[in-house]
A = this chain, B = another copy of it.
């Protein structure tokens, strides 16, 4: 059924919801087939309610909601379909006419008796055999996850796991931020050269319109605090350039976050055939930056230095990124 390798598996925990849903659909479809084969007039969504009535005796709608852990409309609908099959019946409570008490009919009890003896043990055994040899008690793990979700929702856990860094793509209104950030770090360590000026003045013309990209990183309340560009060079070679993060955002790993994003874009452009090679030019005094570049896979490349190093007088280090 699953042809080739499975994308959902590759996504790890991210796609767990989709994956469990897919698995659940299959299990329910097979359970429905088994019930149909035995001639039981039931849909799989109905038997949790039947089972609840069997083990707990008559229940009100609210009690059933509580016992099954599904929404109240889900119970109301299932109830309707079971009444249509004459398997359950309802009566209003004598004391409180809002509440409806659900009980099995005799027919329902007999059907349930047959299912419990004839089919359910087989399904239970079959499902058990699916998980056998999987290296643990699957039901217990599902129970553990349900309990963990009760303690703290996935959404809450996500918020806690999340950093406040955001990626923002270039748009005209961000041109001043691009200039400001670039000026800040260049003037801090070097002096602004004509090449810098030209790019800062017209990022749209020099980068965007020529097929390049500029990304920004935003750090929560601090707003845009960093930028980095992929600028087309000779042929399909691109230069990673103008990477800088404002001093006030140090320590938030904004640089690494931004570099990751830019490299992701470079790989995507490479996959589309728009980009064939990627290099960068820098200066040996930028130790932290060079360390970061190395960490993300850039390698020192003398050939690049020779070919393009003359663009900036400050440039004495060149690196390229293996694609």
- Enumerate chain A interface residues (CB-CB to B < 8 A): 1-28, 30-31, 33-34, 37, 44-45, 47-48, 51-52, 55-57, 66-70, 109-110, 113-114, 116-131, 133-146, 148-150, 153-155, 157-163, 165-167, 169, 257, 260-261, 264-265, 268, 271
Copies in the assembly, this chain: 2
Residues of chain B contacted by A70 (CB below 8 angstroms): 22
A128 to B141, CA, bound (A): 13
Once the chains bind, are B51 and A123 in contact (CB under 8 Å)?
no
**Least Cβ–Cβ distance between A75 and chain B, in angstroms:** 12
Contact B31 A114 (CB under 8 A): no
B158 x A30 contact (CB < 8 A): yes
**Can you show 25 pairs from A to B with CB atoms below 8 A apart?**
A1-B69, A1-B150, A2-B69, A7-B67, A9-B143, A12-B128, A13-B125, A13-B131, A16-B139, A18-B28, A21-B28, A34-B155, A34-B158, A37-B155, A113-B167, A113-B265, A117-B261, A122-B159, A123-B158, A125-B161, A129-B148, A129-B161, A130-B145, A134-B145, A136-B136
User: What residues of B have a CB within 8 angstroms of the CB of A169 in the complex?
Assistant: 110
Per CB-CB distance, the 4 closest pairs between chain A and chain B, nearest first, are A136-B136, A126-B157, A13-B127, A17-B27
Q: Is the CB of A144 within 8 A of B155?
A: no
CB of B69 within 8 A of CB of A44, answer no
Out of B12, B45, B133, which one reaches A18, CB within 8 Å? B45
- Residue of B with least CB distance to A169: B110
Q: Are A157 and B130 in contact (CB under 8 A)?
A: yes
Interchain nearest-CB distance for A129 vs B (Å): 6
Chain B residues contacting A134 (CB-CB under 8 Å) are 140-141, 144-145, 148
How far in angstroms is the closest Cβ of chain B from A225? 15
B67 pairs with A15, CB closer than 8 A: no
Nearest Cβ on chain B to A254's Cβ, whole angstroms: 12
Knowing A14-B124, A123-B13, A139-B12 touch, does A167 contact B6 (C-beta < 8 A)? no
Pair A154/B31 contact, Cβ less than 8 Å:
yes
- Quick check: A139 and B17 within 8 Å, CB to CB? no
Answer whether A51 and B15 are a contact pair too, CB < 8 Å, given A67-B6, A135-B140, A145-B131.
yes
In the bound complex, how far is the Cα of B113 from the Cα of A143, in angstroms? 34
A141–B114 Cα gap in the complex (Å)?
32
Task: Collect the chain B residues with CB atoms within 8 Å of residue A159's CB.
Answer: 34, 37, 122
The answer on a CB contact under 8 Å between A13 and B154 is no
Residues of B within 8 A of A149 (CB): 1, 23, 26, 130
The answer on a CB contact under 8 Å between B117 and A167 is yes
> In the complex, what's the smallest C-beta–C-beta distance from A193 to chain B, in angstroms?
30
Q: A130-B148, A157-B129 are in contact. Are A141 and B139 (CB under 8 A)?
A: no
Q: Shortest Cβ distance from A169 into chain B, in angstroms?
A: 5
Which residue of chain B is the closest to A67 with respect to CB atoms? B7
